[in-house]
Structure 1
């Protein structure tokens, strides 16, 4: 049985900033023999021998990309890209449309590879982040996952804007190396601390990458993965409106949060559960829903101090405030302001299949509401009664001081349960 390889529709050539000096003969031959070349005009300047159809991407990306796909049906198309087209590049987008067998990649060195080599830094443990065309929300949470990063910038998220974002979230211990025009004649590499870069008035070249080098081993603003109650600002009275550490940890265990999850914290108070959830779903999103205006300032302060820039305060009362939120993987209900049943109905309906719902209850009334709600809808609910005691000094001795017992209810939504109380029998 003979094997016939799939025809190549598009060859993607990575062009270094020094143009033909860094191009391989394989890349040059691919361009010279192409029927159509597509890319930025500055890349085409390195290929004066090409005299076919050129698709100029400066006309607008969407139009240009559609033209590339249309021309690929006849084959012999070359797309020019910077560096390695599979490193936050056009290659990823092409792979969403075409099979990998229809694509051929001829990369040059990526900007990250060049940056680490210029700085003399081994980069096998480095992580890579792109702020190109993206919100900066979540940047500081992702920075907790490593010690060395390459960060791609753009015209909006410039090195200064990124440094200002880090400053706002108390991530000031990094050394930031701004590497410009790597591989080109105007190449420049400069190191800054976060504060200096945040107020720097230098206009950097559009083609730049930041290498971030950690200078402090502490994570999450120095508060760590599972922070003490004292690290959270709380509205008066200081002992109120926070899910205490022991109960918080039990709740987080039941929520079973994964790195990419979306989490709701309803009745957030000080947002301690939201923030600790954010440390677990560092690549996801968390929404802290709170209607008490006196809590807003404390919540925002806690988000900044813990560096959880992917946690968003939602100012409003549930269940109305839940309507426009993205579908959650996990929901924690720590307060209801008399709307427990309506909140549970909404949360359970919106919860993704295999999602987790966790409720804490202090009063007998709330315990009864939750239990009756689950019973009414024939839902399997797990209940844990936590009786926590903390040591307190008594003269020269230590005694135990009991806290209020707390019920912790947890439910997991099966794939068949597509709404409250309804089981899909098919």
Structure 2
């Protein structure tokens, strides 16, 4: 059976193809592609079909024309955010031969004379802008395929909104075409400009700048000082202390794409730091107090996390409809915590972890009993923390109230 030829083509048309690629197109009975690509091979004898962005139509046509030589034209490198990846996954790699052309991403980096072996490359057609902006924070170079919904101006503004202002920007329009244009500027300038829909955006980090804005210097991934968080004044001091928070987050074993519940989130200190660890995941901060609920949103904005979702309501009703979590943190006082822990544990994904933070011996005994029954095993930590204070010429230690962490893992 003849293999389907997937051939990359640029704005220079047939002249830019290798002799082998031109020969395959000459032999093809049917050529599938977008209108612009087909216009470049208009002189060839094959039947031509404009499929636009309808990838399913390509699949149907390939299946209907078995035994005939079919060519699929794609822009640039068909395996770099192109149609070849979809077709090989859908129909199997053995059905195809791929002949790449220079991709517009390669052309863009060549135009600005920057190597791209160390760049973060992605497409805003497949990745949300919020996630791309956060990944750009620590990148040396970034190459982006933009979209109509997320043009260069929107990307630049998203970065500026996060205090990320340390990139030189290049917007490369209509690469390979007669009206090709490369614009170099600052993020503030690009945020006010419009560009052709056919563009590649490149960000190059300026030398010697930090990974985060000045307002975030001193902020940590987890274990931030208690006073870094806004707290409601009557309840001040009820925040999970930084040291306990750090231990709890370690025991939760949160991954980059984890789903996390923080039940009884208060002003959101655990939620925010969990969201920073699970940068590609999501964290649900469940809180019944409207004032604390508002503080969660304010603290999220303060720390620049975008993957934290505050949920106003009383557990367990408030977590109905939420995705099952990989990790749950439960904090609180009162006898009701035993029931919350029992119901929350049942919501965990297999292999998920629950960490409960209690302050009394009675609650420790109750929660441990519940989790021991549900999980078959528990880990219990008593955390005693004393913070040093200089008083005159002496160092004294001020003890925090002891607290308990009960950890359990749901069986697989």
Provide TM-score, normalisation by structure 2: 0.89
Alpha-carbon deviation of 1:378?
5.2
Q: Which moved more, 1:124-133 or 1:399-408?
A: 124-133
Q: In structure 2, what is the equivalent of residue 23 of structure 1?
A: 17
1:207 is matched with 198
RMSD: 2.6
> Is the Cα contact below 8 Å between 1:9 and 1:73 reproduced in 2?
no
1:14 Cα shift? 1.5
- Find the residue that maps to 1:206 and give its secondary structure: coil
* Match among 39, 44, 49 for residue 38 of structure 2: 44
How do 1:72-83 and structure 2 match up within 5 A? 73-83=66-76
Offset at 1:283?
Answer: 2.5
- Sort the Cα spacing of 1:81 and 1:349 in 2 relative to 1 into closer, same or farther, 3 A: farther
Structure 1 residue runs without a partner (length 5+)? 1-6, 416-426
Instruction: Using the TM superposition, give the Cα deviation of residue 401 of structure 1 relative to its aligned residue in structure 2, in angstroms.
Output: 0.8
State the Cα distance separating 1:365 from its structure 2 match: 4.4
Structure 1 CA distance, aligned partners of 2:270 and 2:170? 35
Q: Deviations over 1:351-403 (max 9, x none)?
A: 22222211211234432331231134353111111101111232232211111
State which of 303, 308, 312 in structure 2 corresponds to 1:306: 303
Q: 2 CA distance for matches of 1:101 and 1:172?
A: 46
2:274 pairs, out of 273, 277, 293, with: 277
1:318–1:336 Cα contact (<8 Å) kept: no
Shift of 1:23: 1.8
Number of the residue aligned with 1:326: 323
C-alpha distance in 2, partners of 1:34/1:340? 70
* 8 Å CA contact retained: 1:180, 1:208: yes
The superposition leaves residues 128-179 of structure 1 with CA deviations (integer Å, 9 ceiling, x where unpaired) of 1221154323233322442211122111111112222223333233333222
**What secondary structure, in the 3-state scheme, does the structure 1 residue paired with 2:233 have?**
coil
1:111 maps onto 2:108 in alignment: no
Structure-1 residue corresponding to 2:366: 369
The CA distance in 1 between the partners of 2:252 and 2:279, in whole Å, is 15
Q: Secondary structure in 2 aligned to 1:377?
A: helix
Matches within 5 A, 1:140-155: 140-155=133-148
Q: Quick check: 160-169 or 64-73, which moved more?
A: 64-73
For 2:83, the equivalent position in structure 1 comes to: 90
* Count of residues paired in the alignment: 406
Contiguous gaps of at least 5 residues in structure 2: none
Distance (Å, rounded) in 2 between the aligned partners of 1:294 and 1:123:
48
Distance 1:249 1:73, change over 3 A: farther
Greater Cα offset, 354-363 or 38-47: 354-363
User: What SS does structure 2 have at the residue aligned with 1:96?
Assistant: helix
Whole-Å separation in 2 of the counterparts to 1:166 and 1:277: 22
Larger displacement relative to structure 2 (304-313 or 98-107): 304-313
Matched, 1:356 2:353: yes
Q: TM-score, normalised by structure 1?
A: 0.86
- Determine the C-alpha separation between the residues in 2 that align with 1:278 and 1:70: 45
Find the counterpart in structure 1 of residue 6 from structure 2. 12
Hey, what does 2:259 align to over in structure 1? 262
